[in-house]
Structure 1
Amino acid sequence: MAVLVGCRSFWQSFRVQSAHRQSACRLAAAFFSRRYVLSNRVVLCPRLNGHGAVTRYYSSDSKDDLRVRYLDGEDSGIVVVGINRPKAKNAISKNLVKMMFEAVEDIKKNKKVRSVILCSLVPGIFCAGADLKERAKMHQSEVGPFVSKARALITELGNLPVPTIAAIDGAALGGGLEMALACDIRISSNTAKMGLVETKLAIIPGAGGTQRLPRVIGVSLAKELIFAARVVDGTQAQQMGLVSHSVEQNDSGDAAYLRALELSREINPQGPIAIRMAKLAINQGIEVDLSTGLAIEEACYSQVIPTKDRLEGLAAFKEKRQPQYKGE
């Protein structure tokens, strides 16, 4: 695939001198050095009805804590990652972290994936945060390493090269909201509840919340919410920019998921390499000065020029038809 031409061409097109620029280059080069191949891992899948809504599935078996569905047909390229721990309110356990790491790794390697929806299969709950019952059984020496692993998982989720959408149809508290913050886009129902409530337990958000929330809603407001352990609903979350869309909840309790699916269907027809490069340019550019950011954009743009998809886009425009992109 033309976009993955390796680090050498990237370095040649991205000549910057400052330490910040060099750091940005290293991040981009690491991205370009990846190779996306099809994964042979078999994953559990939630059933979907004809409208793409998730059918609720319950199980006490730990292997069903996470159910992953690679959609097909017209929705091919969309992956639905559903958290499924009804008895624990989808709380983040050791097993869930392990399963999510595996799912994220599979998605990262699969070049056919075009977008990811992170949702819940449990009505009224997105994720209640850390599994405090499991946490209470941990020795003090185990807590730090577990939180570090959860933080690493959420970082990996945020580093996925394709668009990620959090569909928040219920309570997203503590680590649950931190997972959603790592996604590119958040959609909630109007009845959903969201908050970083760790200070109630005399701790702080430890999986990226103190860093991602200020970047999303601004420093002052983020401090207010974290200091007060405040919980907001979907309507309030949209007003402050915490979520992009707040939709009225439906009888089946999956309104945010359905809106996320609509958005994934909007993303799917676009050039997949261009989407990945746009995400890379935005994510890296927002962390540096404007001059460095423009250099990052130029470097990312250079990666789409030699692709077959770009030529297909021009041909489709000329012939007045829908382009058929293959990610090449």
Structure 2
Amino acid sequence: MAGDLVKCDFNSPIATVSINRPQVLNAYNEELLDQLQQILVELFEADEAAAVILTSEGSRAFSVGGDIDYLEKLDYKQAKKLSQKGQQLCNLIEESAPVVIAAIDGYALGGGMEITLACDLRLASTRSRFGQPEVKLGIIPAFGGTQRLPRLIGEAEAKELLYTGDIIDAALAYELGLINKVVTPRSLLSEARELALEITDRSTQAVKMIKKAVNKKCQEPSQAGYEYESEAFAQCFKTEEHKVRIREIRRIVKEDS
């Protein structure tokens, strides 16, 4: 399950997917986006995949966004098609049942940053840098960044980054709430895997329901999110899993007391 431009290592219940164009700082072209989407669709449809770590090869960049040579040749129709392709990819990540964790090392710019915004959680190395510099090229973010960034860090901060195209370091990204944790480059993948293992050790059904409920709160009128949350909570009580886990928690508490 891999292509030349995207690698995949699947060791159930966790898959690690890596963008693989380090020679051009993992800039995307249409072929890379197609391969990434195909691999993610296969993973998201696999019942064994409970978490996906999305990362990249090389230490200089997660992805600097679109290949400049590729972007330069686009016309109106091609640009619109690219935007729709990128939005479909990011929506796929955001709406997937498995938890998706971005492990970011180096630059995450433009469409590269937008892909990380669609992930559930973001871990970044101390040398990571973030930005939506499209405005400096006379274009705008095309993969949903104008929608997700304000939702994640607030409208005022998002507008400043989008309007200026400034690039920020990992410390400021963490302060703004753009990323969940800053780690050393050496520990990035191990920290991401440890977090994935912690999440997959929980009730897979419950985690999937939480993700869907949170997405509904963000994407739809709030009442729909509340209604789904109530229904999902009730659904959890149709199985015995919650009882088993409650007993286990009670046992641990008793042993520690």
TM-score strictly above 0.5: yes
Map 1:169-180 onto structure 2 (within 5 A). Answer: 169-180=105-116
CA contact (8 A) 1:168 1:257 kept: no
Q: Partners in 1 of 2:185 and 2:249 — Cα distance?
A: 39
Instruction: Note closer, same or farther for the CA distance 1:309–1:227 as it changes in structure 2 (3 Å cut).
Output: same
Once the two structures are aligned, what percentage of the paired residues are identical?
Answer: 31
CA contact (8 A) 1:285 1:297 kept: no
The alignment status of 1:221 with 2:157, answered yes or no, reads: yes
Paired position in structure 1 for 2:8: 68
Residue of 149, 166, 169 corresponding to 1:230 = 166
Q: Partners in 1 of 2:146 and 2:223 — Cα distance?
A: 27
Q: Partners in 1 of 2:174 and 2:249 — Cα distance?
A: 36
Paired position in structure 1 for 2:135: 199
Tell me which protein shows more helix as a share of its residues: 2
When structure 1 is superposed on structure 2, of 101-110 and 171-180 the one drifting more is: 101-110
Q: Which has the higher contact order (CA 8 A, sep 6+)?
A: 1
Paired position in structure 2 for 1:116: 52
Paired position in structure 1 for 2:31: 95
Q: Partners in 1 of 2:22 and 2:252 — Cα distance?
A: 49
Which runs of no fewer than 5 residues in structure 2 stay unpaired? none
Map 1:8-47 onto structure 2 (within 5 A). Answer: 43-44=1-2
When structure 1 is superposed on structure 2, of 204-213 and 291-300 the one drifting more is: 291-300
The alignment status of 1:150 with 2:82, answered yes or no, reads: no
Paired position in structure 1 for 2:212: 280
SS at match of 1:215: helix
Paired position in structure 2 for 1:30: none
SS at match of 1:64: coil
The alignment status of 1:303 with 2:235, answered yes or no, reads: yes
When structure 1 is superposed on structure 2, of 227-236 and 304-313 the one drifting more is: 304-313
Q: Partners in 2 of 1:292 and 1:85 — Cα distance?
A: 41
Give the drift of 1:141: 2.8
Give the drift of 1:309: 2.6
Give the drift of 1:198: 0.3
Give the drift of 1:290: 5.0
Map 1:253-272 onto structure 2 (within 5 A). Answer: 255-272=187-204
CA contact (8 A) 2:216 2:224 kept: no
Q: Partners in 2 of 1:100 and 1:115 — Cα distance?
A: 16
Bigger radius of gyration = 1
Tell me which protein shows more strand as a share of its residues: 2
The alignment status of 1:312 with 2:248, answered yes or no, reads: no
Give the drift of 1:288: 4.7
Question: What TM-score does the superposition give when structure 1 sets the normalisation length?
Answer: 0.73
Give the drift of 1:296: 1.6
Give the drift of 1:207: 0.6
Residues 45-80 of structure 1, C-alpha deviation per residue, up to 9 Å, x if partnerless? xxxxxxxxxxxxxxxxxx321001112xxxx30111
SS at match of 2:98: coil
CA contact (8 A) 2:14 2:49 kept: yes
SS at match of 2:238: coil
Q: Partners in 2 of 1:97 and 1:308 — Cα distance?
A: 41
CA contact (8 A) 1:83 1:122 kept: no
Q: Aligned residue pairs: how many? A: 253
The alignment status of 1:188 with 2:124, answered yes or no, reads: yes
Name the Cα RMSD after superposition.
1.9
CA contact (8 A) 2:216 2:222 kept: no
Give the drift of 1:256: 2.6
SS at match of 1:129: coil
Corresponding letter in the other structure for 2:180: S
Q: Partners in 2 of 1:89 and 1:320 — Cα distance?
A: 47
